[in-house]
Structure 1
Amino acid sequence: MISSLAYAIVLMGCSDDMSMCREMARDERMFETLGECERRENTALRSDIALEMDYPVVAVKCTAGAEKFAQKGVSDIGG
């Protein structure tokens, strides 16, 4: 069976202990595989958007098909 899922990089602002995180931005590009998406995570953490986030911890994740984010279509978080 061929999967039709697409993955996007999501940046999150989190509390110090990572018990609470808020999704802040999603890359406008979609990746066909989770592996492709995960290879871009470190670049996303070094992006201007991640560096400017006002949270104690900034985290990144790859997610499939999510639609609700604070900023959609951010073009420079996945490198």
Structure 2
Amino acid sequence: MVVITDDQKQQVKSIICDILEIEPNALKEADSFVDDHDADSLLAIEILAKLETTLGVTIDQSELSRMTTLENVYVVLAEVSART
């Protein structure tokens, strides 16, 4: 199983915090983007697109339903990395 590095995790967290317009210390790994930070589907798509362009990966839009927390985003990215 591929695991993303700490540097990649920090980069992912930074991207998500920028899009959600929150400070990094306000985002915990288990926080729900929707329930805890008022994200909507448009922000979710923006997160997915920014992760793809920044990290050079392709994430199927069907994964959006799983990408609801920082923890889950890390898991999806590890799975995507393992497939390439």
* Structure of higher CA gyration radius: 1
- For normalisation by structure 2, the TM-score amounts to 0.31
Q: Could you say which structure has the higher strand fraction? A: 1
TM-score by length of 1: 0.32
Which one scores higher on RCO, CA 8 angstroms, separation ≥ 6?
A: 1
Structure with the higher helix share, 1 or 2: 2
